[in-house]
Structure 1
């Protein structure tokens, strides 16, 4: 295989986050669709390798992949990675069991009397993890979102932060109608963040790939292909001509 041909074929590490990304889907979800379309517009083909989120990030950090999908561009990640233009924006809310409802809240410190579930490898917010480290918040971490919802049903946790579209998908697939009826979420978001493709700074080709991806992403947005892919999963609202936020 020639060097030029090899450079056009990329392998990207990714984790399960249906309906945005899953190995179970024929085209692996809307995020892989967006990434393939953006890189495809620049002449690249992409293969995704699914693994637990923590391992996918660690493998990308070791240089085993051309990029890592898809992550919040928080300060600690910027030390080692270049962040692409936003793939999409997502709001994360606290889900709760109706037997112990979450009333109105303004500051995370007000939630110190709740047992909170978290998923390994997720960013949430710096304040969230600082409060957990200091014991201001009682946070118990497991490896998957479904484990957290199961713990909530059993009364082992009271709150769990997650975005609405993947939460709705997960609940519908793995829980009964009676169980789903017991769960709600508070309308005040914990955070609204953008997701990005990450390129390792130590890799010589990363700047080239970053530029190619951003150009391709811009192209599919201008052509309308981006909107078609994104809106195929659920309900969206446009807050500006540049970004689309998840409800």
Structure 2
């Protein structure tokens, strides 16, 4: 009996020794993909669900800190944090961070404009010569950021971009599809003046890992393996299906 007790205790100690926890930065104001909990102690939404599940599949507990996105990326760039989500791979980010090959998910980028305009198909060329709102610190596709013919109008938040469209200060705002829908639902006054006009692209989102943090490359590899596992065993599909059902999206 004593030997059995000692064996169990030894196993517990061994398991504890191998238990791992990683602290990750998460966007605090990007509902419904990633947003701070009401007590501002954790992060909720699609992205943290996927991140936690992928790390868990590799025996790692992910503790996610809510952080404003600009600071989220800055801390990773400086090596003060292991990683931050959600980031696109672009000319601005591809050499600055470590990216895992498999994206966390894909989301539409939508052009929002005045209620008086008709919805239509958009390309980035259609925005040339137009004043277009983007959010400071956010990552966007290369086609948007490097096109000098588009008049970029940076602002502090996505909400501020929608407000500027409503007030006629800018012609369009480029927002991620569901964040725009979420904003208009919360602000019906804005929904009387602004609406989505068309999807301009569909873009992969990633967790960007630090090149300067000693554990950046290690956890990028762990996440990639975890994503492969949850995709293979159906966990990823269940998370995405629940999310799509919640927001009336098609699979």
The runs of 5 or more residues in structure 2 that have no matched partner are 1-15
Residue 61 of structure 1 and its aligned partner are, at CA, apart by 0.9
Output one character per residue of 1:158-186: Cα deviation in whole Å (capped at 9) or x when no partner: 2011122221112112x12x531432223
Alignment partners' CA distance in 2, 1:170 and 1:232: 21
Matching residue of 1:243: none
Q: TM-score if structure 1 supplies the norm length? A: 0.81
Deviates more, 1:138-147 or 1:68-77: 68-77
Alignment partners' CA distance in 2, 1:29 and 1:107: 28
Matching residue of 1:120: 136
Maintained 8 Å contact 1:116/1:137 = yes
DSSP-derived class of the 1:22 partner = strand
* Aligned with 2:183 (options 170, 179, 194): 170
Alignment partners' CA distance in 2, 1:46 and 1:231: 22
Alignment partners' CA distance in 1, 2:177 and 2:234: 25
* Alpha-carbon RMSD: 2.6
Residue 122 of structure 1 and its aligned partner are, at CA, apart by 2.1
The runs of 5 or more residues in structure 1 that have no matched partner are 239-247
Q: TM-score if structure 2 supplies the norm length? A: 0.80
Residue 7 of structure 1 and its aligned partner are, at CA, apart by 7.8
| Structure 2 residue 12 is matched with structure 1 residue 31 | no
- Larger relative contact order (CA 8 Å, sep ≥ 6): 1
Deviates more, 1:47-56 or 1:111-120: 111-120
Maintained 8 Å contact 1:119/1:145 = yes
Alignment partners' CA distance in 2, 1:45 and 1:231: 23
**1:230 to 1:104, Cα distance in 2 relative to 1, 3 A:** closer
Structure exhibiting the larger radius of gyration computed from Cα positions: 2
Q: Which aligned pairs between 1:10-29 and structure 2 lie closer than 5 A?
A: 10-15=22-27, 16-24=29-37, 28-29=44-45
